[in-house]
Amino acid sequence: MVLLHLVALLIGALSSSDSEIPDLGGERSVQVAAPQDSAGVAVLVHGEEESGHLDPSQIRRIFLLRQRFWSDGTPVAPVNLPAASPLRETFSRLVLGQSARDLAEYWKDLYFHGTQPPPVLDSEEAVLLYVTRTRGGIGYVSLSFLSRVSLPSSVRVVGEWGGGDGQS
Amino acid sequence: MPSPAVSSPRPFHLGGYGSLGLGYSRVAGEAEAFDLTEATAALLFSGTLGARLSYFGELDVASRGSENWTGRQDDQTLEVERLYVEYSFSDAFRVRGGRFLTPIGQWNENHAEPLTWTTLRPLTTYRPFAKSSTGLMVAGEMTVLGRGLGYAAYVAPPGLEETPSEENAFLNAAGARMALEVVPGTFVGLSSVAFKGSRPRGVVADGEDDFEGEDHGEGREEDEGERALLGVDFLTRIRGMEVSGEGVWLASSGVEPAQRGAFLQGVIPLGGSVFGVVRVEGFDAVDKATLWTYTVGATWRLHRRLVLKGERHITHRSSSSVPDGWFFSISSLF
């Protein structure tokens, strides 16, 4: 029975989908390129959600899935960049107030309660498209990316951090 | 935060965890021996239906060669550890009905082997209360003075609990827990519960229980009086380090003596995916001298889903539930 259990453990560990399981590997979760000093991040929301500026504590609650509804009752739909993205580390540090490594522990605990982290999109272009099309959507892009694109009318910027000026 | 909401992008999600524990320990003067302490596997299933309605279940299969829960020894069990539905009226108000983990301290609600830093669990986190409750809960999270505050309040009415044969259970209970995130990654919590309990015969008198390695008899006995528990806890995580602690104080109007216990645990990264763990715990059945337990170990997260642990557990009064020896485990989250 013990041998069967051990085999099942190994098969289970090595076969399930990577994207759903928080990384248990501690420091390996932050083996990413260091963010550039000039890196800044902007948070975008679908235009119908909330009004004005969102403070960091509210954005933190949203991305940690502690706030799951906008004030009008619409479900919040946050989206992340990949764990290895330097912009994600910048966002974690500047806006969420914790490193990706420390947040990995948080997601690991929540997985045990039936909660998976926000879905991941591969690029800033994909994040912009997602927020444009998704009611309740919220995501983040770099300030440099933001300066290069023309935002559709359904997307609003609700906060900017970094870029040498801190929050703006 | 207490009893977090289920939040899944899909109507059905299947996961789980499993663990194998091995001990080389000595109990009550016996010779040291290798022992398969525990083999567990748990299936987790959950989903969110239409954003506000969700469900969660956990089915556990366990085989234990040594006691880890009060009264459990040499048993094989299949049990529903959690099974509940939940409706979210808002972020600040959710209603949960069914069987859920009792929200006392942080460890009990996050006790899965791959999530914890040590193979053995502090007595403080399970000995004085039932690990699961069956009843109704309201819970939620809000912002107070810019800080996150979570709460959970619950009742476990008489008659709903099918008392498992070999561990503590609530006959009826009413309790609450709240936790405040003081700064990002740092939480302080307060728990309380009033209850009447049931436990296996042989461990009724806490001061006389298996700290001395006594055999357990058959059947259960019920607490004769109302009991009240108060708990405090904290957790802080920064730069890969973690410091946590919990304390409980249990008062009784019946024949059982009061209990109190507390532990302090520190975790530091040693390099790569290896972490060092130290813990000290004092547990006091009041009519006996405080039982001190010291734990020094290491946890290696060798794969994104595989965790290896090894620890030296030192106590001056060993028993099946508080052994003195070496313990190792491998666990997986899947």
For the stretch B128-141, pLDDT in tens is: 899 999 999 999 99
Lowest mean pLDDT among B33-42, B231-240, B316-325: B316-325
How far apart (Å, rounded) are the C-alpha atoms in residues B183 and B145?
12
Over pLDDT 90: what percentage of chain B?
55
CB of B16 less than 8 A from some CB of A: yes
CB of A135 less than 8 A from some CB of B: no
Q: Which of B105, B113, B157 is nearest to B131 (CA)?
A: B105
Q: Does A110 map to a domain?
A: yes
Owner of token pair 């595989």: B306
Question: Sheet harboring A155-162: ordered strands across?
Answer: A77-78, A137-142, A40-46, A155-162
Task: State which residue of chain A sits closest to B65, comparing Cα positions.
Answer: A2
How far apart (Å, rounded) are the C-alpha atoms in residues B42 and A85?
33
3-state secondary structure of B157: coil
Q: Does A79 map to a domain?
A: yes
Q: Determine whether the interchain pair B242/A105 forms a contact, defined as Cβ–Cβ distance below 8 Å.
A: yes
CA atoms within 13 A on the CB side of B55: 10
B141: which chain A residues are within 8 Å (Cβ-Cβ)?
Answer: 61, 66-67
Bridge partners of B266? Answer: B243, B278
Q: Are the beta carbons of B26 and B324 closer than 8 angstroms? A: yes
Look at residue B213 in the predicted model and tell me its pLDDT.
37
Lowest mean pLDDT among B79-93, B209-223, B237-251: B209-223
Q: Does A16 map to a domain?
A: no
| Residue A80: count of CB within 10 angstroms of its CB | 18
Owner of token pair 């239409």: B50
pLDDT: is A5 or B289 the higher one? Answer: B289
- Look up the CATH architecture of domain B100-333: Beta Barrel (2.40)
Domain region containing A127: 38-162
What's the angle, vertex CA A135, arms to CA A129 and CA A139, rounded to 5? 50
Domain count, chain A: 1
Residues B84-110 have a mean pLDDT of: 96
Task: State which residue of chain B sits closest to A4, comparing Cα positions.
Answer: B39
Owner of token pair 């479900």: A75
pLDDT band at B334 (very low <50, low <70, confident <90, very high): confident
pLDDT: is B64 or B328 the higher one? Answer: B328
Look at residue B225 in the predicted model and tell me its pLDDT.
78
CB of A13 less than 8 A from some CB of B: yes
A1: which chain B residues are within 8 Å (Cβ-Cβ)?
Answer: 39, 63
pLDDT band at A95 (very low <50, low <70, confident <90, very high): very high
Rounded to an integer, what is the distance from CA B15 to the centroid of its chain?
Answer: 20
pLDDT band at B162 (very low <50, low <70, confident <90, very high): low
CATH of residue A118: 3.40.190.10
Q: Determine whether the interchain pair B41/A102 forms a contact, defined as Cβ–Cβ distance below 8 Å.
A: no
Q: Determine whether the interchain pair B41/A8 forms a contact, defined as Cβ–Cβ distance below 8 Å.
A: yes
Does A26 score more than 50 pLDDT?
Answer: no
How far apart (Å, rounded) are the C-alpha atoms in residues B48 and B56?
9
Q: Which of B144, B291, B169, B294 is nearest to B222 (CA)?
A: B169
Q: Kindly report the pTM of this predicted structure.
A: 0.86
pLDDT: is B54 or A31 the higher one? Answer: B54
pLDDT: is B255 or B234 the higher one? Answer: B234
pLDDT: is B63 or B254 the higher one? Answer: B63
Q: Determine whether the interchain pair A68/B332 forms a contact, defined as Cβ–Cβ distance below 8 Å.
A: no
Look at residue B282 in the predicted model and tell me its pLDDT.
94
Q: Which of B59, B116, B110 is nearest to B82 (CA)?
A: B59
ipTM of the complex, rounded to two decimals:
0.85
Choose from B304, B328, B330 for mutation: most chain A CBs within 10 A. Answer: B304
Does A33 score more than 50 pLDDT?
Answer: no
How far apart (Å, rounded) are the C-alpha atoms in residues B115 and B204?
31
How far apart (Å, rounded) are the C-alpha atoms in residues B248 and B229?
7
Of B19, B88, B269, Cβ closest to residue A27: B269
Please, what is the average pLDDT of chain B? 85
Bridge partners of B83? Answer: B57, B99
**Which amino acid, one-letter code, is at A63?**
F
